[in-house]
Amino acid sequence: MLYSVLSKDHKRIDNQIVSFLDSLNDSPNTNTLMTAFGAIKNHIFWEEEYLFPAVENGNETMVKGLEAEHGAIWKLFDSISDDLGKNDLKEAKNRTEALLGVLKGHNSSEENYIYREMDKLSTDQQAELLLRQVESSSAPKNWICKVLRK
């Protein structure tokens, strides 16, 4: 089950980045870029703090490689943001295309190897990973329960 959740998260983030890339043809949608960056930060956080330690034994080299790619992905987001600050849309587009290329290979490695290792964990171990995500989640600012909404 977690394999499916994380794979869908990859697709969700990729779609946000593609939407941002498309916006570079007219008017850059920086909100879409920031939403994608926030989503990928959360995804990376969960993998590095919870998933990777759970499957690292015997997979140390693969995990270290994926962590290095996380750093490259993060730097590309920062560079794209810098390009937008300089109004260099051509370079932002080039870097966004490069980011999508890095993510394609990275996501494939995670999905075809690490996520499959995760699926070998017991149901209780997988539930513990999901619980850690729930514990670190927070409601959006100013959110209130349905009964108390006007």
Q: Which two tokens stand for residue 127?
A: 């539930």
Residue 1 pLDDT > 80: no
pLDDT band at 2 (very low <50, low <70, confident <90, very high): confident
Q: Enumerate residues 6+ apart whose C-beta is below 8 A from 23.
A: 29, 32
Structure confidence at residue 45 (pLDDT): 93
Q: Which two tokens stand for residue 84?
A: 């937008």
DSSP 138: -
Structure confidence at residue 134 (pLDDT): 83
What is the per-residue pLDDT across 49-74, written as a single tens digit (0 to 9) for each? Answer: 999 999 999 999 999 999 999 999 99
Please list, residue by residue across 51-85, b when 16 or more beta carbons sit within 10 angstroms of its beta carbon and e when fewer do: bbebbeeeeeebbeebeebbeebeebbebbeebbe
Rg of the chain (C-alpha set): 17
What is the per-residue pLDDT across 90-139, written as a single tens digit (0 to 9) for each? Answer: 999 999 999 999 999 999 999 999 999 988 999 999 999 888 888 888 88
Model-level pTM? 0.88
Q: Enumerate residues 6+ apart whose C-beta is below 8 A from 122.
A: none
Nearest Cα residue to 3 out of 47, 45, 69: 47
Query: Residue 36 in contact with residue 99, Cβ under 8 Å?
Result: no
Domains of the chain and CATH, by start = 2-130 (1.20.120.520)
Nearest Cα residue to 133 out of 75, 46, 61: 46
